[in-house]
């Protein structure tokens, strides 16, 4: 409960929509969640201690029990810190964080060092205290009938505590919502509960009959320009070859470039932190109604490479998702005569982008270790992991010069990921901090300048005029009206939470496209088919998106996943669903029910077709 109250005090704005009664109801629900968490992982130890008399054995059991409880505490408090970045509890992504140990180590022993040291000290004291308690000899043990009765009572108490529900199914994450508000669920749940309860969530994806789900999903994706072609792979569509110039494509995925923070895209007061990015948007195709499909970088990368929103409970690309047949952007590019390249400013194995890029058909891959430092770095300012964005952009420029045309390339930045190391004080307009909003603003100023140097450099190359640049972000970047941000935007009002999913999309090619502001709804899943359509490639692909240039798509949607929630954004509004209730909606009852039905169809169709390996041929 102390951890829960810490979460509340750290992020009060996230819970401002709760009335006093709703707040206390959520705390009470949180007590039930904590009871389930602790009872589930304590029951066997308590039962064992009823029967074990040896002091050594009791010390061993007590110590192991303490380690388990301590792990629950550490993970739950770590979740409070993690909440800062995505404004929800950690879920099954915990099982994949081993792929990002360099980033985790950097943060734990960098900006989070006081918390790390505090956790270590408290853990040692707790484990030592438990060991001392269990070394005490117990003179009188219960036995016979008393032991049987006590055992029965203990089992009954644990059964009731773990099940925590006297009707229907046992208590689940969706039951933790005291009221149908995301804030209520976030306050009631603890990070450890959401982690182990989402370890295997495939069974949740039977929200309607599969045949009906496929029918509805096909209706939403249908276009006379991209016919469905295979009954066994019902969502696979054919993109016919068109006689179009084979332009080069340069994709830049920007770390944590949420639209709510960016000049030219924010619906809050502009802070003049990305003036060059704004200039690019004014000179290209500027998409103002574009959304991410998840909260983590690997979600964005997966969606761009495959056109898929990773369903709740499924593994990531490079970690199991590829066991199903998928359509891959790089492979389709190569089939249409393109050379391919991928890189990232983070370390080579970060997010497994090296393996993911190879899977997706990118022949050449580079990480931070391959990139020489060309940035002007003040003494003692080298980043602990990865490399500065301009080092990557300079390397990108060099490699693009070496590529055979036409080419398709992908690059992923890093400097705007916490911890916010910067090469020089000249970028520190705000009081710099490695992990708070001020540090993020300064990092955006630096990355914007890196983009400027990159684009102004490649403008001099002969291939520039026949190249299309695509700039977008991996995901949003949290609350633009947190307490620090509020100092710079005192008069702005909070926007709906869907704003945290809105990201920029710029298609920049001044010799090819005239500047235009486009309000077409889109998401990461639309980038792959947009490229196929834009270049007139011949391709049979399956994606949960459509070309942004296809004007025959009647209804557009963005289908996203956020921890224990799934959601849908349409032109009618948006909903979030926790597999029991709609916990947030922006529409009236009729529109909400329509969006709920569509969300059920999309989620059921995608998850089941992937499971049955009927996604792509």
For residue range 523-536, what is the model confidence (pLDDT) as tens digits? 999 999 999 999 99
Q: Name the nearest CA neighbour of 507 among 258, 267, 247, 237.
A: 247
Q: Which residues contact 5 (CB under 8 A, 6 or more apart)?
A: none
3-state SS, residue 73: helix
How confident is the model over 558-573, as pLDDT tens digits?
999 987 899 999 999 9
pLDDT, residue 99, reads 54
pLDDT, residue 87, reads 76
What DSSP state is assigned to residue 91?
Answer: -
pLDDT, residue 316, reads 77
pLDDT, residue 323, reads 74
Query: What's the Cα-to-Cα distance from 493 to each of 84, 85, 441, 496, rounded to whole Å?
Result: 20, 21, 20, 10
Q: Which regions in the chain score pLDDT beneath 70?
A: 86, 92-103, 167-169, 174, 198-203
Q: Name the nearest CA neighbour of 304 among 241, 351, 238.
A: 351
**What are the E-state strand segments in 363-466?**
364-366, 407-412
Classify the phi-psi angles of 329: left when phi > 0, otherwise alpha if psi is within -120 to 50, otherwise beta: alpha
Sign of CA dihedral 80, 81, 87, 89: negative
Q: Which residues contact 166 (CB under 8 A, 6 or more apart)?
A: none
pLDDT, residue 433, reads 93
pLDDT, residue 97, reads 59
CATH number of 247-550: 3.40.720.10
Whole-model pTM: value is: 0.82
CA pair distance 555, 219, nearest whole angstrom: 9
pLDDT, residue 169, reads 63
Q: Which residues contact 293 (CB under 8 A, 6 or more apart)?
A: 299, 300, 303, 309, 310, 523, 524, 525, 558, 559, 560, 561
**Angle (nearest 5°) at CA 383 between 381 and 389:** 105
CA pair distance 253, 300, nearest whole angstrom: 9
Range list of H helices, 495-588: 527-535
pLDDT, residue 351, reads 74
pLDDT, residue 483, reads 87
Domain map of the chain by residue range? 2-199, 247-550
């Amino acid at each position: 409960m102390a951890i829960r109250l810490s979460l509340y005090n750290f992020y009060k704005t996230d819970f401002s929509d709760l009335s006093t009664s709703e707040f206390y109801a959520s705390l009470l629900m949180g007590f039930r969640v904590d009871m389930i968490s602790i009872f589930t992982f304590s029951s066997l130890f308590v039962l064992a201690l009823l029967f074990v008399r040896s002091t050594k054995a009791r010390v061993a059991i007590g110590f192991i029990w303490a380690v388990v409880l301590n792990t629950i505490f550490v993970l739950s408090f770590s979740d409070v810190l993690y909440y800062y970045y995505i404004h929800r509890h950690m879920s099954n992504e915990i099982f994949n964080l081993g792929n990002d140990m360099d980033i985790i180590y950097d943060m734990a022993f960098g900006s989070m060092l006081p918390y790390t040291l505090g956790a270590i000290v408290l853990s040692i004291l707790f484990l030592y205290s438990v060991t001392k308690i269990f070394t005490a000899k117990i003179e009188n043990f219960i036995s016979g009938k008393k032991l049987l009765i006590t055992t029965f009572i203990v089992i009954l108490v644990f059964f009731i505590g773990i099940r925590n529900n006297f009707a229907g199914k046992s208590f689940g994450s969706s039951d933790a919502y005291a009221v149908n508000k995301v804030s209520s669920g976030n306050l009631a749940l603890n990070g450890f509960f959401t982690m182990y309860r989402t370890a295997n969530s495939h069974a949740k994806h039977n929200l309607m009959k599969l045949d009906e789900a496929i029918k509805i999903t096909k209706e939403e994706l249908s276009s006379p320009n991209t016919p469905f072609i295979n009954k066994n792979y019902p969502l696979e569509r054919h993109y016919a070859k068109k006689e179009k110039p084979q332009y080069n494509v340069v994709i830049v995925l920007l770390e944590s470039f949420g639209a709510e923070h960016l000049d030219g895209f924010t619906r809050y007061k502009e802070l003049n932190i990305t003036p060059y990015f704004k200039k690019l948007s004014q000179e290209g195709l500027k998409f103002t109604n574009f959304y991410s499909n998840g909260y983590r970088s690997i979600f964005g990368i997966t969606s761009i490479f495959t056109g898929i929103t990773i369903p709740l409970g499924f593994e990531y690309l490079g970690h199991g998702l590829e066991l199903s047949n998928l359509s891959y952007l790089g492979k389709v590019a190569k089939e249409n005569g393109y050379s391919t390249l991928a890189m990232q400013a983070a370390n080579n194995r970060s997010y497994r982008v090296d393996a993911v890029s190879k899977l997706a058909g990118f022949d050449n891959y580079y990480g931070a270790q391959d990139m020489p430092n060309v940035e002007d770095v003040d003494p003692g300012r080298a980043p602990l992991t990865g490399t500065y964005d301009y080092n990557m952009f300079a390397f990108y420029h060099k490699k693009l010069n070496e590529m055979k045309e036409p080419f398709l390339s992908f690059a992923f930045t890093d400097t705007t990921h916490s911890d916010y190391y910067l090469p020089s004080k000249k970028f520190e307009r705000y009081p710099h901090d490695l992990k708070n909003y001020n540090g993020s603003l300064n990092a955006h100023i630096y990355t914007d300048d890196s983009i400027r140097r990159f684009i102004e450099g490649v403008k001099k190359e002969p291939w520039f005029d026949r190249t299309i640049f695509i700039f977008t972000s991996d995901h949003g970047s949290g609350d633009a009206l947190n307490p620090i941000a509020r100092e710079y935007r005192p008069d702005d009002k909070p926007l709906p939470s869907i704003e945290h999913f809105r990201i920029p999309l710029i298609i920049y090619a001044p010799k090819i496209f005239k500047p235009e502001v486009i309000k077409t709804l889109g998401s990461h899943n639309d980038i792959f088919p947009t490229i196929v359509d834009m270049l007139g490639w011949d391709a049979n692909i399956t994606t949960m998106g459509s070309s942004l240039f296809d004007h025959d798509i009647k209804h557009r949607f963005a289908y996203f996943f956020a921890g224990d929630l799934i959601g849908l954004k349409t032109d009618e509004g948006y909903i979030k669903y926790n597999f029991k209730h709609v916990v947030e909606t922006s529409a009236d009852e009729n529109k909400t029910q329509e969006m709920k039905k569509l969300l059920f169809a999309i989620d059921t169709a995608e998850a089941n077709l992937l499971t049955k390996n009927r996604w792509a041929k």
